């Protein structure tokens, strides 16, 4: 049976948040189990609920943080805030959670700097075990983004694509809206993203 995709209005369908924490995963989201949680992610979620507007998920980005994670055997993360930009945290554990919380709170409200806003990170939900639509259309969009960035870099060695990074993210909600595309540090979410609509998206 062919999966159904939603084609209606999208206003108000994305969750409201002021900060998005992406824990770096060693596996692609296409290989994630249906539900993915760790003791660490649960603790972050509990603190995020208490502080308000802080969301936690798992993500994978080839050649950027997965290799470092496997090599160090430590949990790292990237924190995004539209007011503060991007914050990389090389090591999070239950033992340093209070310090991590302080770093995040200092980052959330900015200010935005050239260093924290230089890169544009684009994530696509490819969490196939959660819903086949994310595994199908999400993977197609992710692969298309990777090809587009690679092509642009071959054409222009010092162009804007040097600051674009493509990653895959776990379940973000709204399977029927697949493909779901998240752009940070701006915090923009796109749904119903299909290749024909994405023509020229990166330019």
Write the CATH number for 169. 3.40.30.10
Task: Say if residue 121 is in the same domain as residue 99.
Answer: no
129 plus 111 within the same structural domain? no
For residue range 28-61, list pLDDT tens digits in order: 999 999 999 999 999 999 999 999 999 999 999 9
Do 32 and 99 lie in one domain? The reply is yes
**pLDDT over 70 (residue 64):** no
Per-residue pLDDT tens over the stretch 84-133: 999 999 999 999 999 999 999 999 988 888 888 888 999 999 999 998 99
Q: Where do runs of H (alpha helix) occur along the chain?
A: 39-51, 66-72, 97-108, 114-117, 132-133, 139-155
Range of the domain at 73: 19-115
Task: Please identify, among 71, 94, 115, the residue that sits at the C-terminal boundary of a domain.
Answer: 115
- The answer to whether the bond into 111 is cis (omega within 30° of 0) is yes
Domain count, the chain: 2
Q: What does the alpha-carbon distance between residue 146 and residue 71 come to, in Å, rounded to a whole number?
A: 24
23 and 89 together in one domain: yes
Strand order in the sheet with 54-60: 85-89, 77-81, 19-24, 54-60, 164-169, 120-125, 181-184, 188-190
Distance between CA atoms of 195 and 199, rounded to whole angstroms? 6
Check whether residue 125 and residue 185 sit in a common domain: yes
104 shares its domain with 130: no
pLDDT tens-digit readout, 10-34: 555 566 788 999 999 999 999 999 9
């Amino acid at each position: 049976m062919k999966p159904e995709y939603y084609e209606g209005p999208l206003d108000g369908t994305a969750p409201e948040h002021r900060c998005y924490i992406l824990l770096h995963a060693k596996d692609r989201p296409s290989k994630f189990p249906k539900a993915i949680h760790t003791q660490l992610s649960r603790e972050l979620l509990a603190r995020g609920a208490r502080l308000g507007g802080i969301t936690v998920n798992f993500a994978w980005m080839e050649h950027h943080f997965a290799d470092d994670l496997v090599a160090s055997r430590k949990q790292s993360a990237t924190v995004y805030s539209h007011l503060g930009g991007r914050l990389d945290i090389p090591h999070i554990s239950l033992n340093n959670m209070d310090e991590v919380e302080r770093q995040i709170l200092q980052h959330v409200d900015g200010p935005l700097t050239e260093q924290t806003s230089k890169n544009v990170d684009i994530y696509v939900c490819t969490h196939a075990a959660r819903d086949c639509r994310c595994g199908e259309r999400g993977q197609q969009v992710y692969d298309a983004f990777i090809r587009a960035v690679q092509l642009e870099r071959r054409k222009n060695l010092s162009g804007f694509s040097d600051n674009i990074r493509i990653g895959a993210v776990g379940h973000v909600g709204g399977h029927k809206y697949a493909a779901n595309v998240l752009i940070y540090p701006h915090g923009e979410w796109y749904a119903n993203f299909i290749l024909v609509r994405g023509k020229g998206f990166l330019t």
